Structure 1
Amino acid sequence: MDKPVHHFSELFEQLGLANDAASIERFIERHSPLSAEMPLAEAPCWNEGQAELLREAVGEDADWAEVVDHLDVSMHKSN
């Protein structure tokens, strides 16, 4: 059975954040780059629930893992 494909905007919606393209871009610009040593879920921009969602998505290789990985890369690279 194939996993559903989630879009970046859907992840931001799941995180309870504005999910239009401009808001996503502003969020990433505002909170990055994260240091190479900082796991995405430990970034100070997340509340406890958001951090847990991110940890579970990657830890359980959930449907969201691919898009969370994309966010991880986006927040770790320099603008």
Structure 2
Amino acid sequence: MEQAFHRFSELFAQLGLPSDESGIRHFIATHTPLPGDVELADAPFWTPAQATMLRDEIADDADWAEVVDQLNVALRAS
């Protein structure tokens, strides 16, 4: 089975967020740094649906897991 490769912009679109480069940069700048003791899906800025999607993708190691991991790292950078 071939694993899908998703871009950051596709993840942001899937989450219902602005998915252009400036929108992504703004989102990350606004929400960085995410404290180390807060799981990505538990961050207070997600809607319940967004949090569920992020949690499910990581738990299932689904198609989106790699790019969700990249988002996690980006939000923890200072």
Q: Name the TM tier (shorter chain).
A: over 0.9
> Within the alignment, does 1:26 sit opposite 2:26 as a pair?
yes
AA at the equivalent of 2:42: E
User: Which whole-Å CA distance do the structure 1 matches of 2:23 and 2:44 have between them?
Assistant: 18
Q: Identity over the aligned pairs, expressed in percent? A: 50
Say which SS state the counterpart of residue 19 (structure 1) adopts.
coil
Equivalent residue, structure 2, for 1:70: 70
Structure 1 residue runs without a partner (length 5+): none
Equivalent residues, number: 78
Equivalent residue, structure 1, for 2:55: 55
User: Which whole-Å CA distance do the structure 1 matches of 2:42 and 2:52 have between them?
Assistant: 9
Equivalent residue, structure 1, for 2:3: 3
1:38-79, Cα deviation, whole Å (9 max, x unpaired): 11101111000000000001000000000000000000111x
TM-score, normalising length: structure 1: 0.97
Structure 2 residue runs without a partner (length 5+): none
The alignment yields a C-alpha RMSD, in angstroms, of 0.5
User: Which whole-Å CA distance do the structure 1 matches of 2:23 and 2:14 have between them?
Assistant: 14
Say which SS state the counterpart of residue 3 (structure 1) adopts.
coil
Following superposition, the deviation at residue 2 of structure 1 comes to 1.3
Equivalent residue, structure 2, for 1:46: 46
